[in-house]
Amino acid sequence: MYSLHKGEYYSVDEARFFATAKSNALITLQHPDTLFLDAAVFHASNEVRRKHGLPPFEYDPGLYLASAGHATSMTYRMFFNHTNPYSPYERTAQQRVHLYTKRFRRVGENIGKYQTLVSGTYMIARWDASSKQYEFLNESDNKLCIPYTYADYARFVVEKWMASPPHRQNLMNPAYTSLGCAARLTPEPYLHKKAPYASLVQNFGGEQ
């Protein structure tokens, strides 16, 4: 295993990215490596593209900035929608992408909201007085739920998108050749009774 500088996250393919030690580290939910997680979702997307015989997406910084902005807005404004009701300049995916790049004739977007703890069907939230935060346990065995690794979480969310026909259509559309991905975790993940989660965005671009 080896490491990558953040400037190298998109210069390697998914096999080399997921061979890094960091990709197999548990996500520290209070202080996640956001840039690394964003790249992990990008590379997990290319894994499924190759698996289905499609060329991998190219990373595009404009699409990335659009996805990062919308994921951040959804997390901190606490909404979940393709439409941003708080900014007329960022209302639609196309508007958000065009703030950063106008090279794409077609634009698509996937969004997701998935918990960041590995669990069974049900979880129990329990207040821990000593640490003054909630802990989450599996209902079936009362064992503590731990965070995903960076690689496992990225693959988990892409698997969820692939199980949804409209999201899968975007991922598998050969007309989309470029991609930007972002995941923004809930702040103060253990101070609320609701299980911690991330808001995720993929922005797709096609020049034809």
* Structural domain contains residue 177: yes
- Residue-number span of the structural domain to which 104 is assigned: 21-115+149-188+197-206
Instruction: Flag whether 63 is in a domain.
Output: yes
- Gap between the Cα atoms of 56 and 50, Å rounded: 6
Q: How many domains does the chain have?
A: 1
Tens-binned pLDDT, residue by residue, of the chain (208 aa): 789 999 999 999 999 999 999 999 999 999 999 999 999 999 999 999 999 999 999 999 999 999 999 999 999 999 999 999 999 999 999 999 999 999 999 999 999 999 999 998 899 999 999 999 999 999 999 999 999 999 999 999 999 999 999 999 999 999 999 999 999 999 999 999 999 999 999 999 999 8
Instruction: Look up the CATH number of the domain holding residue 48.
Output: 3.40.33.10
pTM to 2 decimal places: 0.96
Residue 109 lies in a domain: yes
